[in-house]
Amino acid sequence: MKPLLLCCLALLPLLAHGKRIAVEDYAYPVTNPFIATIAGTPSDAAITLPDARDIEQNDYALALKKRSELPGVFYQGTTLKYRLAEQEGRAPLLFIIAGTGAHYASGKNELLKKLFYQAGFHVVQLSSPTSWDFISAASRSATPGYSPDDADDLYRVMQAVLANHPKLKVASVNLAGYSLGGLHAAFVGALDKQRRALNIQRVLMLNPPVNLYTSVRNLDRLVQTQVPGVSNQQTFIDGLMQRLTRFFEQQGRIEVNEAMLAAFQSSPEGLSNEELAMLIGSAFRFTVADMVYTADLLNQRGLITPKDYPLGFDSDLAPFMKRAMMCDFDCYIAQQLIPWWRAKHQGGSLVQMMNQVSLYALEDYLRDNPNIAVMHNADDVILGPGDLGWLERTFGERLTLYPRGGHCGNYAYPKNAHDMLEFFHD
């Protein structure tokens, strides 16, 4: 008995292996994960996608909250918008959930929409539950971050979307999400397994966080890199502006497009890895500031906006924005998410919470479930050591691991596009 057991144990790692794409078999041209994260796939290495004008699509809005529930200053965000690209006749439908802070029409959502629309899907693009429009118009707690509740909000939105288009001929309902949207997709999939209201057929997670806390701490750390030239008189934004100016001076004209950005990056003024990381981190910090401000205001917590402060559409928000900018992911979790979670869900410690909101919570659902798959990159900046190992043990063959691509930088690369479509292919 014992040798057999040992033999089985020795074979276990082999069985648990994901589909790893070897570096030699993967010609994705960007080797630097920070550039890949910012710039995505260069257009001459990318698949051809349909022009927006050739897609039968429209933006719609759901009114899930009463207008009076929201402060006047949010005149832009009283309804939740989404975009539906419609096929003629009967077709499978794909919901796409955006990543942290991104809204339904963000670049990655548009890219994925075009890819799947071209392959014959109806596509519905949804905002992330951490995006401002979703927090104000659709989130019942207005405190995003607790994945089970975020998934519940998303589920309600998805049902409302389907109810909004009774004439749409849907062959099957499928779900995909990138980045944090990937994590949400898994939670929605698990929820659907209990409720059976949508009967989601397949779920695809693209570059999801495994341990949410690892990911947000990585993102917080990106703005702590050492950037040369920063002094008491000069900030990194000043430095960036000066270098752009010098570059344009040298070029003799101002133009912003892919080729020009690539030329900038290969000029002497190009950015170092630390500065690229700083840019990525900054983008996320602006997102967190929106979240911090919105969650605080809607729940009247008084951390950013004083309680009962009269806000009209002409109020000066700059002081509140500045205050919100001081707060990073960690600060948001400590000041708003955990206190709310303790009150609403009788929560305990941070570790306990992170177990409930990360993929660990879904291990039973994810294991041996052929209808859910994950695609990730070996150089993704949101991962920590051991995360890919966990995915491999849980998903086995249903994990596809690409050697490059940074965070979500390779969706337009032919191999990735092909693999994504292949997973949904019957």
Contact status: 111 vs other proteins (CB under 8 A):
no
* C-alpha distance across the termini of the chain, in Å: 41
Q: 124 or 222, CB closer to other proteins?
A: 222
Q: Find the binder of other proteins among 45, 47, 361, 421 (CB under 8 A).
A: 45
Place of tokens 């930088």: 409
DSSP 22: P
Phi, psi of 213 (to 5 degrees): -70, -40
- CB of residue 92 to other proteins, shortest distance in Å: 28
- CB of residue 43 to other proteins, shortest distance in Å: 6
Q: Which two tokens stand for residue 76?
A: 């832009």
287-346 positions binding other proteins, by CB under 8 A = 289-290, 293-294, 313-318, 321-322, 325-326
CA 41 to chain centre: 17
* Burial class, 162, CB count within 10 angstroms (exposed 0-12 / middle 13-18 / buried 19+): middle
Contact status: 254 vs other proteins (CB under 8 A):
yes
Please choose, out of 89-97, 102-110, 175-183, 199-207, the segment that lies near other proteins by the rule CB under 8 A.
102-110
- CB of residue 226 to other proteins, shortest distance in Å: 4
Q: Tell me how far apart the alpha carbons of residues 165 and 235 are, in angstroms, rounded to a whole number.
A: 50
Helix or strand holding residue 145 (H, E): none
Q: Find the binder of other proteins among 55, 80, 85, 102 (CB under 8 A).
A: 102
Contact status: 105 vs other proteins (CB under 8 A):
yes
Q: Quick check: helix, strand or coil at residue 214? A: helix
Q: 201 or 225, CB closer to other proteins?
A: 225
- CB of residue 387 to other proteins, shortest distance in Å: 7
348-407 positions binding other proteins, by CB under 8 A = 378-381, 383, 385-389, 392, 401, 403, 406
* Burial class, 293, CB count within 10 angstroms (exposed 0-12 / middle 13-18 / buried 19+): buried
- CB of residue 224 to other proteins, shortest distance in Å: 5
Q: Find the binder of other proteins among 87, 218, 358, 369 (CB under 8 A).
A: 218
Q: Which two tokens stand for residue 309?
A: 């402060």
Contact status: 285 vs other proteins (CB under 8 A):
yes
Q: Is the four-CA dihedral 113, 116, 120, 121 of positive or negative sign?
A: negative
- CB of residue 215 to other proteins, shortest distance in Å: 11
Closest CA to 110 of 120, 98, 119, 92: 98
Q: 130 or 174, CB closer to other proteins?
A: 130
Q: Find the binder of other proteins among 25, 56, 69, 258 (CB under 8 A).
A: 258
Q: Find the binder of other proteins among 48, 159, 199, 235 (CB under 8 A).
A: 235
Q: Find the binder of other proteins among 100, 109, 125, 127 (CB under 8 A).
A: 127
Closest CA to 123 of 166, 82, 155: 82
Instruction: Tell me if 381 sits within 8 A of 218, measured CB to CB.
Output: yes
The strand pairing partners of 58, in sequence order, are 84
Binding mask of the shown chain, residues 142 to 161, with x at each position contacting other proteins by CB under 8 A: --------------------
Cα separation values, 296 from 140, 283, 286, 305, 323, Å: 14, 20, 15, 7, 12
Instruction: Tell me if 279 sits within 8 A of 227, measured CB to CB.
Output: no
Q: 136 or 147, CB closer to other proteins?
A: 136
Contact status: 262 vs other proteins (CB under 8 A):
yes
Q: Find the binder of other proteins among 157, 158, 216, 276 (CB under 8 A).
A: 276
Q: 168 or 260, CB closer to other proteins?
A: 260
The amino acid present at 334, given as its one-letter code, is A
Contact status: 272 vs other proteins (CB under 8 A):
yes
Q: 257 or 346, CB closer to other proteins?
A: 257
1-20 positions binding other proteins, by CB under 8 A = 20
Q: Find the binder of other proteins among 3, 89, 252, 310 (CB under 8 A).
A: 252
- CB of residue 220 to other proteins, shortest distance in Å: 9
Q: Is the four-CA dihedral 24, 28, 32, 33 of positive or negative sign?
A: negative
Please choose, out of 95-103, 161-169, 173-181, 188-196, the segment that lies near other proteins by the rule CB under 8 A.
95-103
49-78 positions binding other proteins, by CB under 8 A = 73-77
Closest CA to 317 of 337, 292, 350: 292
Q: Tell me how far apart the alpha carbons of residues 280 and 267 are, in angstroms, rounded to a whole number.
A: 20
The strand pairing partners of 177, in sequence order, are 97, 205
